[in-house]
Structure 1
Amino acid sequence: MANIRDVATLAGVSTTTVSHVINETRFVADETRERVFAAMRDLNYAPSLVARSLKVKETHSIGMLVTTSSNPFFAEVVRGVERYCFEQGYNLMLGNTEGEATTAQSYLKMMLRKRVDGLLIMCSEGQREVLGQLDWLGDLPVVQMDWGSGGACDLIADNSHHGGMLATRHLIALGHKKMGCITGPRDRAPGTERLAGFIEALQEAGLPLRSDWILEGNFDCASGHQAMRSLLAQSERPTALFVCNDMMAMGAISAATEAGLRIPEDLSIIGYDNVALAEYMSPPLTTINQPKEELGRLAVTRLLTRINGERPQETLITLEPNLVIRRSCSTPSTQ
């Protein structure tokens, strides 16, 4: 692994100059700075850069990388994290990465320069490049939230497979036999696991699976709207739909309403997450609740446990979802 001397040699400068460039402790000419940065990139010196930034003493601050803060689900979890950090006397430093690995890396390096005591990463499958380099962090405590790769880090996740089964069993209990699903991205665990729960519940009930009624979304309103329009363009449609998050469910309901369908009389829709807005939709959305406050509290609690030097053996903590019945689902008018 390259060290600061290797960088200095390749850039044609002294190790002191490299140190000043990294630490921003003295003016260095732009051309020299660029040679140093180019040498660092060529030598993959980032691990040493991050190691330099590791805390030398507690700062009572925690860093948090979030894929997007515009989704109400993430915002509600972040609010819980902030509240519990405040109660424990910690400051929260938040970085919204929009799923971009380069943005995540920039935030990560900034947080380490600030010497955060620990790091929370939420929705980390959108940042695999960062996750693959978490060995940069040395002994810095890291907790992944919602979904991720687990591994050496703690992972606190929703039991999405069970949640998918809960949603589908509810529709089956209402008498539906013709059901479709709008999934999340198939390369992310929530999308695949919730779909797997949907399929298993159908199989359990001996009901057919229509692949043309399974459409992929991107966990946002627009993709739910587009998926519903694609579904309504088919010659036959299901009587009920499991939508794998509330944002897509909102988009799906909007598209269905635009097409003249009544929810739930013509089409039952159940969502996932139980964001605060779900209760105030028209009609109020039946959904699968993720314990968002509990997710935030557990993540901070486990991170503080690690910061305080304890090393729990269990690295995976699974939170169980539950069904919240409102008025977007009813018995089918036809089959």
Structure 2
Amino acid sequence: MATIKDVAKQAKVSTSTVSHVLNKTRFVSPEVTLRVEQAMKALQYAPSALARSLKVKETRTLGMLVTSSANPFFAEVVQGVEQRCFELGYSLALCNTQGDKKRLTSNIEMLLQKRVDGIILMCTQLELGAHIFERYPNVPLVLADWGPQDMLADVIQDGGQLGGQLATEHLIALGHRHIGCITGPLGRRAADERLAGFKTAMANANLTVPDEWVCEGDFELAGGNIAMSRLLTLPQRPSAVFIANDMMAAGALRALADANMTVPEQMSIVGYDNIELAHYLVPALTSIEQPKAVMGALAVDTLLARIKQPDSPRQVLTLKPELVIRHSSQGI
């Protein structure tokens, strides 16, 4: 394994210069900085050195990477993380990736430079896998529901398949037999599991689902709006729709209003996540509660346990979803 002396030798500088480049404790010319960085990259020194420092120096600061803290779902989980950090006397360094792989990598480097004790990862980038952290093998990690599932990290996840099944069974119990589904981006665990729950409930009730009644969305407002608009153009359309998150459900409500269709009289809908906004939509949205504050707090506790016992077995903790009935669903 390379040492700081190896980097200094390859870059033809002193070890103190390498240290200043790493810690940004003194100005180093761009030319020398580039030589040091190239040497660290060639020797794969900097990431491992930074990662090792996490094990021996406690900063009582945790890092968190999210796709976007502006999204209500993410924001509510972050609030749970921040509250738990406050209770335990930790600080939180929060970074938004905005779905950008380059920005994600830059944020990781920045968090490690700040010597965070561990990282909570809550990012939706489908193309990311375990390899993204191969250069940082000793960094304690927890995935909070959304992230690469092939990564060797503790996972806090919602019971998506059960949640999708609960939502669909609710509509079936109301007498609906023609039920559609607006999914999240297929290929992501959250979307796939919720769709699987929908299909399980429909199969258990011996109900068929035309292919065109299952529309792929993007977990955002626009995706729900577009998908619902597509369903409304069909010659035969469902009387109820399970929508895989509340943001898409809000967009779907806009499409229904634009089409002069009333909810739930002409179409019942059930969302997922039970974000705070669900209570204030018109009509108030029936939704599957995903305990977001609990997820955030549990992510912190699990990460701290990993930091204290780095060699303990990997944990996959699943939260139990619950149905919250409001006014967007009714019997026929």
Task: Give the letter for the 1:116 counterpart.
Answer: V
Residue pairs, 1:113-192, within 5 angstroms: 113-123=113-123, 125-126=125-126, 128-129=128-129, 131-148=130-147, 149=149, 151-192=151-192
What's the CA shift for 1:26? Answer: 3.2
What's the CA shift for 1:6? Answer: 6.3
Aligned length: 331
Does 1:77 pair with 2:77?
yes
What do residues 3-46 of structure 1 show as CA deviations (whole Å, max 9, x unaligned)?
Answer: 65665566565555444323323332223323443454566556
Residues 162, 197 of structure 1: 8 Å contact kept: yes
What's the CA shift for 1:50? Answer: 3.7
SS in 2 for 1:187: coil
SS in 2 for 1:284: coil
Task: Give the letter for the 2:99 counterpart.
Answer: G
Quick one: distance in 1 between partners of 2:305 and 2:51? 22
Judged with a 3 Å threshold, the aligned counterparts in structure 2 of structure 1 residues 249 and 46 are, in CA distance, closer, same or farther, namely farther
Residues 163, 194 of structure 1: 8 Å contact kept: yes
- Between the aligned residues of both structures, percent identity stands at 51
Structure 2 gap ranges (5+): none
**TM-score (ref. length: structure 2):** 0.91
What do residues 153-175 of structure 1 show as CA deviations (whole Å, max 9, x unaligned)?
Answer: 11010010010100110111111
Does 1:253 pair with 2:262?
no
Partner residue of 1:280?
Answer: 280
Which deviates more from structure 2 when the two are superposed, residues 5-14 or residues 300-309?
Answer: 5-14
Task: Give the letter for the 1:145 counterpart.
Answer: A
Structure 1 gap ranges (5+): none
Which deviates more from structure 2 when the two are superposed, residues 182-191 or residues 150-159?
Answer: 150-159
**TM-score (ref. length: structure 1):** 0.90
Residues 221, 250 of structure 1: 8 Å contact kept: yes
Quick one: distance in 1 between partners of 2:46 and 2:30? 20
Judged with a 3 Å threshold, the aligned counterparts in structure 2 of structure 1 residues 222 and 124 are, in CA distance, closer, same or farther, namely closer
Partner residue of 2:302?
Answer: 302
What's the CA shift for 1:312? Answer: 4.7
Residue pairs, 1:1-335, within 5 angstroms: 13=13, 17-41=17-41, 47-48=47-48, 50-51=50-51, 53-123=53-123, 125-126=125-126, 128-129=128-129, 131-148=130-147, 149=149, 151-309=151-309, 312-313=312-313, 315-332=315-332
Residues 146, 156 of structure 1: 8 Å contact kept: yes
SS in 1 for 2:287: strand
What is the root-mean-square deviation of aligned Cα atoms in Å?
A: 2.3
What's the CA shift for 1:136? Answer: 3.5
Quick one: distance in 2 between partners of 1:196 and 1:262? 28
Quick one: distance in 2 between partners of 1:15 and 1:196? 56
Quick one: distance in 2 between partners of 1:114 and 1:307? 16
Quick one: distance in 2 between partners of 1:302 and 1:51? 19
SS in 1 for 2:193: helix
SS in 1 for 2:252: helix
Judged with a 3 Å threshold, the aligned counterparts in structure 2 of structure 1 residues 55 and 114 are, in CA distance, closer, same or farther, namely farther
